[in-house]
Amino acid sequence: MIIQNQNRFSHRRRRRNADINITNLMDVMMVLLVVFMVAAPLMTSGIALDLPKAGGKALEGEETSINISVDKDGYYYIGETEIPQEEIVAKLLAIKGENSSLSVTISGDENAEYGRIIGLMALLKEAGFEKVGLKTQSKPFTGKKK
What are 2-50's pLDDT values in tens digits?
555 555 555 556 677 777 888 999 999 999 999 999 888 777 666 666 6
pLDDT at 61: 46
Average pLDDT for 83-112: 81
53-138: which CATH architecture? 2-Layer Sandwich (3.30)
The model carries a pTM of 0.52
pLDDT at 41: 75
Poorest-confidence range of 12-16, 21-25, 103-107, 111-115? 12-16
Distance CA 135, CA 103 (A): 12
Distance CA 91, CA 106 (A): 15
pLDDT band at 62 (very low <50, low <70, confident <90, very high): very low
CA triplet 103, 107, 108: central angle to 5 degrees? Answer: 135
Sequence spans of domains, the chain: 2-42, 53-138
